[in-house]
Chains A and B, each alone.
Chain A
Amino acid sequence: MKQEIIIAGFGGQGVLSMGKILAYSGLMEGKEVSWMPSYGPEQRGGTANVTVILSDSPISSPILNTYDIAIVLNQPSMEKFEDKIKPGGILIYDGYGIHKPVKRTDINIYRVDAMDAATEMKNEKAFNMIILGGLLQIVPMVKLENVLLGLKKSLPERHHKLIPMNEAAIKKGMEIIQKV
């Protein structure tokens, strides 16, 4: 089993760290993983993306033409990656970041209103974990317990107190994701 995933949005949305947590979670499950970021002069407001591959067998290319799953968090990323989702693949987007209708009809489209939910939770930093929760609800590629282990691995110890908040955010995302 192999999942080829692109996560794309604005710098500062937690795109790279969401990818990192997903990669760590895969590692916890004994999968092969690769995490390849765009590493341009990205900063808050610029675009950022990361390719994450989770696989049961060794991974060849860390750079891909097409993706099984695209998580798209802003309109510029939608323009860039909508056409690169494999037919029958999955598109997950945040309703706040996307203002034009999706054109593809041969893929499964889901929406997570993560920005609204994060605002409601009074924690905008939970945004990327709400998205991750949505992803895991649709494709349970890693177990929640391994995501929490992955979080523990990828966060410095001084931030471990934030893990319960992240868990709550993931569960929120699982609840609110909806098929479009």
Chain B
Amino acid sequence: MSEEIKLLKGNEAIALAAIRCGTDGYFGYPITPQSEILETLMAEMPWETTGMVVLQAESEVAAINMVYGGAGTGKKVMTSSSSPGISLKLEGISYLAGAELPCLIVNVMRGGPGLGTIQPSQADYFQTVKGGGHGDYRLITLAPSSVQEMADFVGLGFDLAFKYSNPAIILADGIVGQMMEKVVLPPFQERKTEAEIREQSTWAAQGKPTHRKPNVITSLELDPAVMEENNIRFQKKYKTIEENEVRYEEFHCEDAEYLLIAFGSSARICQKVVELAREEGIRLGLLRPITLWPFPTKAIAGYAEKVKGMLSVELNAGQMVEDVRLAVNGKVQVEHFGRLGGIVFTPDEILVALKDLIINK
């Protein structure tokens, strides 16, 4: 075995993966249930090994603007928070998207609205994939359902962010942040040198050589004609991402008569529901969107005429279910089952809901 298997919390895995992925800077502010990210980074002291900066900012707003500054220079920078903290960051996130800056944001969701609860929730789906901040922008959204994916999506998130010059977000929740599982961390990757950044990120504000125009990092454009051009460029980029970067996982879908759609930790709980249902002879499958934007619309639409019903299982009042309904376009019944405010459903209550809402309806 080349890499050691570790037992880590999801939050710890994100922190350790960030150091290994050659991240240049982390800027954050503590909030449950993701404080272990900042804690682990501080304990590891990567500034003494890789040179990575770890900074506890004075607020979430300061942290996201530090990310804006770092990203503007072509550095690999990230921040993390939980729901109320992400709300504070939204202005900065919209600016990052508007300035087409690559960066990684992590939201370990908790129950809301408002200060809410510290318990797990998935109620920031709308906020993440339908905007949140102002303007027509999109975030590349990865939804990990295991500690291994918490580690793996740090590198993937950065890769996609830089590939498309767009912010990427890991949309996790308190379960996958707090639980411990086996994980193999990604291999060590050096931080990019200044020369590499200048070569790979020609747009970055890195100090102007004499032969070219200055690089200006801004989301401001007062001429509406130019601003429309900018928006058209963003939309074209979003379309490319939708065509190329959809990720999802299927679990017992081949012969499924009914389908669960769930992301993140809900998908883990739904795997158990599939096992329980199949013990009873119900042919149940699970489709797990890994990217929430771009959404696996085509994959879900592909099942519209194969199954008798779909249940979107989410720790919220019914958010992703809207995208599932759009995908199947009325061809099959789609219902939602959720628990709210930090309460987590158990596998058996999901199975009961499936029977009540779809099978026996």
Knowing A40-B118, A60-B268 are in contact, say whether A65-B348 is a contact too (CB < 8 A).
yes
- Distance to closest chain B CB from A56 (angstroms): 13
Tell whether A63 is near chain B: CB-to-CB under 8 Å: yes
Additional A-B contacts beyond A23-B180, A27-B182, A153-B7 (14; CB < 8 A): A35-B180, A39-B174, A39-B178, A40-B118, A40-B119, A59-B181, A60-B271, A61-B268, A61-B269, A61-B272, A63-B268, A63-B269, A63-B344, A64-B346
Q: How large is the interface on B (under 10, 10 to 19, 20 to 34, 35 or more residues)?
A: 20 to 34
Subset of 15 A-B contacts with CB under 8 Å: A27-B7, A33-B180, A36-B178, A40-B118, A40-B119, A41-B118, A60-B269, A60-B275, A61-B270, A61-B272, A62-B175, A63-B265, A64-B272, A65-B346, A65-B348
Knowing A23-B180, A33-B182 are in contact, say whether A60-B7 is a contact too (CB < 8 A).
no
Complex Cα distance A37/B349, Å? Answer: 21
Complex Cα distance A23/B275, Å? Answer: 23
By a beta-carbon cutoff of 8 Å, the part of chain A in contact with chain B is: 20, 23-24, 27, 32-37, 39-41, 59-65, 153
Knowing A63-B344, A65-B346, A65-B348 are in contact, say whether A37-B178 is a contact too (CB < 8 A).
yes
Complex Cα distance A35/B178, Å? Answer: 9
**Chain A residues with Cβ under 8 A from B347's Cβ?**
61, 63-65
Complex Cα distance A173/B118, Å? Answer: 36
Across the interface, do B118 and A24 meet the contact criterion of CB distance under 8 Å? no
Complex Cα distance A32/B268, Å? Answer: 15
Knowing A24-B7, A60-B275, A62-B268 are in contact, say whether A35-B346 is a contact too (CB < 8 A).
no
Tell whether B338 is near chain A: CB-to-CB under 8 Å: no
Complex Cα distance A27/B7, Å? Answer: 8
Query: Which residue of B has the minimal Cβ distance to A59?
Result: B181
Complex Cα distance A36/B212, Å? Answer: 55
Q: A32, A40, A60, A153 — which one has the most chain B CB atoms within 10 A of its CB?
A: A60
Tell whether B232 is near chain A: CB-to-CB under 8 Å: no
Query: Which residue of A has the minimal Cβ distance to B7?
Result: A27
Knowing A20-B180, A63-B344, A64-B347 are in contact, say whether A27-B5 is a contact too (CB < 8 A).
yes
Complex Cα distance A13/B347, Å? Answer: 29
Partner of B7, one of A23, A40, A41, A65: A23
Across the interface, do B346 and A63 meet the contact criterion of CB distance under 8 Å? yes
- Distance to closest chain A CB from B213 (angstroms): 52
Query: Which residue of B has the minimal Cβ distance to A58?
Result: B271
Across the interface, do A61 and B271 meet the contact criterion of CB distance under 8 Å? yes
